[in-house]
Amino acid sequence: MEWREQVAREKRAAYRDDTYWGRGVPGFGDAEAHLLVVGLAPAAHGANRTGRMFTGDRSGDWLYRGLYRAGYANQPESTDLDDGLVLSGAFITSPVKCAPPANKPTADEKANCAPYFKREVALLPNLKVIVALGGIGYAAVCAEMGVRPRPKFGHGVEVPLDEAGHPGLTLLCSYHVSQQNTFTGRLTEPMLDSVFARAREIGTAE
């Protein structure tokens, strides 16, 4: 918490005229969503600045283009809270609500934020599919949903949650949309598109 506020005070030079959000960042999207996208945590100069998950950073550029192509977003970019972005059939959140140093949340941070994440999941009555972006998001979802033993994380891995007590709910895995993955080619746009195409297939099945 102290670090997120320090970042909001000191700012990045490119955003020196911006008023940073500098607080915990809640999830957002369609309350009737069948798809929940789970990231890691707010980015220091992205969501910690704008107040909305994956808004105003390179990771968000990738994510929203993918959601737009899949028909979950009305536009392919998200720059600030007033940019007109609307999600349809999708909700986005993260298990950690405050920007952590080096994008590496501590065990205490994960534990402190777990109740908020739990409430967000419970408020989505039409949920059918969860897309976990990266291993930390995947682990958080498995912990929340009681998945034991936890299958090994990997891009495209699909985990039915029926045996964990969530009939009709499926967990899909994707590499995170971070620059570490997108700049190196570990995650490509066709790879991301395939995950969201599968999410829509599951989410709209009768």
| pLDDT tens digits, one per residue of 109-156 | 888 888 988 899 999 999 999 999 999 899 999 998 999 999 999 999
| Domain count along the chain | 1
Name the residue with higher pLDDT: 106 or 172. 172
Angle, CA 27 vertex, CA 21 and CA 29 arms, to 5°: 115
The chain-wide mean pLDDT, for the chain, equals 92
- CA torsion angle for 69, 51, 91, 172 (degrees, to 10)? 80
| Helix (H), strand (E) at residue 35 | strand 35-38
pLDDT tier, 3 (very low <50, low <70, confident <90, very high otherwise)? low
| pLDDT tens digits, one per residue of 50-104 | 999 999 999 999 999 999 999 999 999 999 999 999 999 999 999 999 888 877 8
**Phi-psi bin for 185: left (phi > 0), alpha (psi -120 to 50), beta?**
left
Radius of gyration of the chain (CA): 16
* Residue 71 belongs to domain spanning: 2-203
**Token pair of 169 as six digits:** 């709910």
CATH code, 87? 3.40.470.10
Helix-strand-coil percent breakdown of the chain, rounded to 5? 40, 10, 50
- The whole-angstrom separation of Cα 13 and Cα 17 is 9
**Is the pLDDT assigned to residue 19 strictly greater than 90?**
no
Res 4: pLDDT: 67
